[in-house]
Structure 1
Amino acid sequence: MSPRLNGEEPDRLYTVTGGRSRVDESPLDIVTLIVSESGPEPGMQSEHARILEICAGPLSVVEISAELGLPVTIVKILLIDLLDTGHVTARSPLPALRRSQLPDLEILKQVLIGLQKL
């Protein structure tokens, strides 16, 4: 019996990604929001088509992964394919915060202590 990853045969995952197994320096993280810019095209790989269908509204990379039942790394590879062809756009869910905009760590600690006492 061959090993499985998230219920998928390793050979299938290899085929889905065209043999690519890593996403080096990917601009995507698990909370990056993905939105379709077009619908599926005839002859398109089924996983790519499914991503375009489910991303009519913004979905995070991790939500897409859960919806497809594929590991996040595999989904990132598929998303990069779609980004490269302009089929999807990606955006950060929140603007980058400056350190001065972050809550005070001491206040957060006090809130946590208060919650634990409840």
Structure 2
Amino acid sequence: MNARGDRWFDREAGPVVRPYAMTRGRTRPRGETFDLIAVVEATGERPGDRLRYSPEHVRILRRCAEPVSVVDLASEIGLPLGVIRVLLGDLRDQGLVALAAIEPVGDRPNKGVLREVLNGLRAL
């Protein structure tokens, strides 16, 4: 409280933790960053020392039990995308999450079809 007796937090909002505190001041993961549409999933490895993982790490790891895109993960967990990327990097470094291999849904259109579409667009 300050001299006037005002409070700096809202009881309904709960405790506030700044994003840089969750990432220990880091703004990027070590190694490659994660694209928005990259799909991650848990590898099934057991986390070793539970004391070094934050509650956010645990929430991310639980959600990654099934493949999920990075952007969906950020939305569902409710953390900024940059924080999710750094925490995913931590989990990846420990071998707990990995990029999921995505199989193509269908056949790609052949070059002839794409060329016709491109020519049609140019004609507009």
Is TM-score (shorter-chain normalized) higher than 0.5?
yes
- Name the counterpart of 1:5: none
When normalised by structure 1's length, the TM-score is 0.66
**Which amino acid in 2 is paired with 1:29?**
D
When normalised by structure 2's length, the TM-score is 0.63
- Name the counterpart of 1:42: 50
Partners of 2:102 and 2:54 in 1: how far apart? 27
**Contact conserved, 1:32 with 1:93, CA < 8 A, in 2?**
no
Matches within 5 A, 1:1-80: 12-23=18-29, 26-37=32-43, 38=45, 42-43=50-51, 44-80=53-89
Listed as ranges, the gaps of 5+ residues in structure 2 are 1-7, 9-14
Partners of 2:110 and 2:92 in 1: how far apart? 31
Partners of 1:64 and 1:22 in 2: how far apart? 17
- Name the counterpart of 2:3: none
1:30, CA displacement in angstroms? 0.7
The number of residue pairs the alignment matches comes to: 101
- Name the counterpart of 1:85: 94
Partners of 2:81 and 2:114 in 1: how far apart? 32
Partners of 1:91 and 1:109 in 2: how far apart? 36
Partners of 1:94 and 1:18 in 2: how far apart? 36
Partners of 2:77 and 2:119 in 1: how far apart? 38
Listed as ranges, the gaps of 5+ residues in structure 1 are 2-7, 112-118
Q: CA RMSD in A?
A: 3.5
1:23, CA displacement in angstroms? 4.8
**Contact conserved, 2:41 with 2:66, CA < 8 A, in 1?**
yes
